[in-house]
Amino acid sequence: MDTQGQTKKVYLQTFGCQMNEYDSGKILEQLHALSYHRTEDPRQADLILINTCAIREKSEHKVYSLLGSLGRIKLENPGVKIGVGGCVAQQKGEEILKRVKLVDLVFGTDNIFELPDMLARSDNGERVLRTEWHPGNKKIDNFIPVFPGTRGQETPITASIAITKGCNNFCSFCVVPYTRGREVSREPDNIIEEASRLVGWGAKEIMLLGQNVNSYRAGQTRFVDLLQRLNGLEGLERIRYTSPHPKDFNEQLAQAHRDLPKLCEHLHLPFQSGSDRILKAMRRNHRIAEYLEKMEMVRETVPGIALSTDIIVGFPGESDEDFHGTLQVMDAVRFDHIYAFKFSPRSDTPAADFPDQVPERIKADRLARIHELHERTLKEIHRGLVGSRQEVLLEGAHPRESGALIGRTRGHKSTTIPGCSRKPGEIVNVEIVATRKFSLVGREVGRGS
């Protein structure tokens, strides 16, 4: 099948965060140059790749169970190659090769660019493992895609750009410093070039990605400078970013949300725990009073800004009182959206070995209480939005409601617009007429600005 000149098929499944989705684009870009086309059917594939996530135990388990089922395909078709990339591959490369005999290649987060060489070696019968870091390699860090099809959608209305990689924070629960290495910021010109290409391919919204995105710094260019430059990009309508760290969130960035028309009125700022004692054990480098002050400051600067966060429940040693602190922060801030997780011990991280691990039953109960409180709050927030005017960037047809389009408000609320005759990529003004559990329903009242 891989006779020269013939196209080959790759099946690629991605787990984890937007950074991993972004890396999958880089993987497809490498493979496109080798005449691979994407298939959604692993049975049709010459090459099967899994881009893995290690953030919680569950995500890691998924990798091994998927490898089990994909392995059966290889038993039927021994010619197919199976590769594992991403965060689990970075951390557990050798173990994967040992444990799963059907795997042909394993590559870490900094090794995507070695895929052509790895595939050639694999053709020669080698089982390949590449997980070494390439610090300071500008060619890798400043990569720009040239092929629009690698973005997962033909016309990516909302597209992502990684502006930093890695993390230097070493929060005690987090695997990222071990799977993504030390923090590196890309050259600003290079980011703007990538953004221009994406806009040329139809992108209206750009999400800047980084494990600690607001600590971006390249020479004299700080994060807000980069936002300012992107704001000047013609054809781009919206800018978002994720995830910032509270220690680096400042007044200047809040003012950017107020002053830069393209920067959306939405801030995702993880607080993880409402207890100073737990924050200290998490090595988060900030206190909860500072977090609350920053949230107050941003609300004063940008009235109506939507706020979202990440929360971990059941961190080692978390008492009922500590957990109560988390509920109190939720009550004080009233988030529009939350991502809440049960603490999951990860190898290499200090917190995995902390004493006083919280029993699963208590974690599950605390998580349920978090969701309960959030849903109650959200109902009230949504009720308050009925009758309001919102700008919605249309992203596509509703998957289940015929004639309806879906899009997002500037506050990142998913909004359904029944009977909408506009096209994806357009911005429409809507009046919110109803609410659902996690989304809004709008009626078109005209074209947006």
Residues found near ligand 5AD in the complex (CB under 6 A): 55-56, 173-174, 270, 272, 310, 312, 341, 343-344, 346
- Name the residue nearer to ligand SF4 (CB basis): 180 or 240: 180
Helix (H) or strand (E) holding 323: helix 320-333
Binding residues for ligand SF4 restricted to 31-70, rule: CB under 6 A: 53-55
C-alpha to C-alpha distances, 371 to 8, 60, 408, nearest whole angstrom: 45, 24, 22
Give the start-end residues of each E strand in 57-215: 81-85, 105-107, 128-130, 158-162, 164-165, 184-185, 205-209
We find the least distance from the C-beta atom of residue 103 to ligand 5AD, in angstroms, to be: 25
We find the least distance from the C-beta atom of residue 346 to ligand SF4, in angstroms, to be: 9
d(C-alpha 196, C-alpha 416), whole Å: 29
Q: Binding of ligand SF4 at residue 175 (CB under 6 A)?
A: yes
d(C-alpha 270, C-alpha 295), whole Å: 11
Q: Binding of ligand SF4 at residue 213 (CB under 6 A)?
A: no
- Name the residue nearer to ligand SF4 (CB basis): 48 or 87: 87
- Which residues, 6 or more positions from 321, have their beta carbon under 8 angstroms from its beta carbon? 275
We find the least distance from the C-beta atom of residue 239 to ligand 5AD, in angstroms, to be: 21
- Name the residue nearer to ligand SF4 (CB basis): 175 or 313: 175
- Name the residue nearer to ligand SF4 (CB basis): 51 or 390: 51
We find the least distance from the C-beta atom of residue 55 to ligand 5AD, in angstroms, to be: 5
We find the least distance from the C-beta atom of residue 236 to ligand 5AD, in angstroms, to be: 26
Q: Binding of ligand SF4 at residue 177 (CB under 6 A)?
A: no
Q: With CB under 6 A as the contact rule, which of the stretches 32-40, 175-183, 227-235, 409-417 interacts with ligand SF4?
A: 175-183
We find the least distance from the C-beta atom of residue 176 to ligand SF4, in angstroms, to be: 5
d(C-alpha 358, C-alpha 54), whole Å: 21
- Name the residue nearer to ligand SF4 (CB basis): 17 or 394: 17
ω into 35 cis (within 30 of 0): no
- Name the residue nearer to ligand 5AD (CB basis): 28 or 358: 358
- Name the residue nearer to ligand SF4 (CB basis): 63 or 417: 63
- Tokens 């939720």 label which residue? 330
Q: Binding of ligand SF4 at residue 115 (CB under 6 A)?
A: no
The entry of ligand SF4, ligand 5AD, none near residue 54 (CB within 5 to 8 angstroms by kind) is ligand SF4
Of 8, 10, 12, 16, which lies in the binding site for ligand SF4, with binding defined by CB under 6 A? Answer: 16
How deeply is 233 buried, as exposed, middle or buried, from its count of CB atoms within 10 A (0-12, 13-18, 19+)?
middle
Instruction: Tell me if 309 sits within 8 A of 274, measured CB to CB.
Output: no
We find the least distance from the C-beta atom of residue 421 to ligand SF4, in angstroms, to be: 38
Largest CA distance in the chain: 66
The 3-state DSSP class for residue 375 equals helix
How deeply is 41 buried, as exposed, middle or buried, from its count of CB atoms within 10 A (0-12, 13-18, 19+)?
exposed
- Name the residue nearer to ligand 5AD (CB basis): 113 or 241: 241
Instruction: Look at the alpha carbons of 59, 65, 66, 68 in this order and tell me if their dihedral is positive or negative.
Output: positive
Binding residues for ligand SF4 restricted to 72-111, rule: CB under 6 A: 86-87
We find the least distance from the C-beta atom of residue 231 to ligand SF4, in angstroms, to be: 27
Residues linked to residue 215 through DSSP beta bridges, in sequence order: none
The entry of ligand SF4, ligand 5AD, none near residue 173 (CB within 5 to 8 angstroms by kind) is ligand 5AD
Q: Binding of ligand SF4 at residue 180 (CB under 6 A)?
A: yes
Residues linked to residue 51 through DSSP beta bridges, in sequence order: 14, 85
The entry of ligand SF4, ligand 5AD, none near residue 180 (CB within 5 to 8 angstroms by kind) is ligand SF4
Nearest to 323 by CA among 283, 291, 368: 368
C-alpha to C-alpha distances, 8 to 119, 136, 258, nearest whole angstrom: 13, 33, 49
We find the least distance from the C-beta atom of residue 211 to ligand SF4, in angstroms, to be: 6
d(C-alpha 171, C-alpha 279), whole Å: 9
Nearest to 42 by CA among 74, 86, 7: 74
Q: Binding of ligand SF4 at residue 8 (CB under 6 A)?
A: no
- Name the residue nearer to ligand SF4 (CB basis): 20 or 275: 20
Nearest to 369 by CA among 412, 333, 325: 325
Give the residues lining the site for ligand SF4 (CB under 6 A): 16-17, 19-20, 53-55, 86-87, 175-176, 179-180
